Amino acid sequence: MEARGLTPARAVVGHRTNGHSGPMVEATRIAAPGGGARRMGLQRRYGLLLVATMVSLGVQGIVPPSPVQEVAVTALAGASLVLAFRASGLPGRLMARAVALSIAIIVVSAVRATAGGISDGVVTAMNAALVGLGPPAVAVGVLRDLRSTGQVRLEAVMGVLSLYILLGMFFGFVYGALDRFGGDPFFASGAAATVSHCLYFSFTTLTTVGYGDLVARTDTGHTLAVFEALLGQIYLVTVVSLIVSNLGRPHRVRGSG
């Protein structure tokens, strides 16, 4: 008998009770009022995160070193962390801690830029901490979205791309911190380990381009570069390729055919 008057969402519920489970419940939730708004909200959040990481990349690589640039780099690192936590839908208490940590480190960076008395290495290490907390949060958010919907959507693609950029920036800050705290120059060529140089070296390593104009001098630098290169290649050929190749494909429900 035809179930007249049922909305699409209720019809899905009825279909689910005939033996289907799991993904059909999520399909009901997405079909219900507000599901589309939630999806658009997630796309905006991951979109803002991707834009923030790209802007941070540009400021670090293009803007000449100055006290203003240092504060701007830290502010963008903090914004990336907050946006990563927000896009991932982490609990409010973790979100509040991310905001508090970002504000505290931005204040430290501003104090160093205006009054001095704080080591450049300390600020660089704190920037690394800010950026380094972003990738785990993004990974949690993307996995949660994939499990709940059973489908790769645009927000997942923006999430994995943001994670990749954050990884490159994290290693760049780590290289800069090693230069400040190691006592000897980080690069073998004698080039200054500026934010731009460290970022450039990090992404040429992450993508395994390896131009060779900047080379790590110490065994620690060599080892970190190897880890970054391996991580970058494994991430691209597994996570990114899998996500992009399955973009928009409908989830197949077992037993439905």
Look at residue 20 and tell me if it is in a domain. Answer: no
Domain that holds residue 103: 39-245
* In a domain? residue 59: yes
pLDDT value for 18: 44
Q: Residue 42's pLDDT is what?
A: 82
9: in domain: no
Per-residue pLDDT at 13:
38
| Number of compact structural domains in the chain | 1
Q: Determine, yes or no, domain membership for 5.
A: no
Residue 35: per-residue pLDDT: 61
HEC string for the chain: CCCCCCCHHHHHHHHHCCCCCCHHHHHHHHHCCCHHHHHHHHHHHHHHHHHHHHHHHHHHHHCCCCHHHHHHHHHHHHHHHHHHHHHHCCCHHHHHHHHHHHHHHHHHHHHHHHHCCCCHHHHHHHHHHHHHCHHHHHHHHHHHHHHHHCCECHHHHHHHHHHHHHHHHHHHHHHHHHHHHHCCCCECCCCCCCHHHHHHHHHHHHCCCCCCCCCECCHHHHHHHHHHHHHHHHHHHHHHHHHHHCECCCCCCCCCC
pLDDT profile of the chain (257 residues), mean per 10: 43 41 41 63 90 95 92 96 94 95 96 90 95 95 87 90 96 95 87 94 94 92 96 92 80 47
Q: What is the pLDDT of residue 175?
A: 96
In a domain, 164, yes or no: yes
pLDDT at 40: 85
Residue 235 located in a structural domain: yes
Any domain includes 26:
no
- The answer to the question of residue 15 being in a domain is no
| Whole-structure pTM value | 0.81
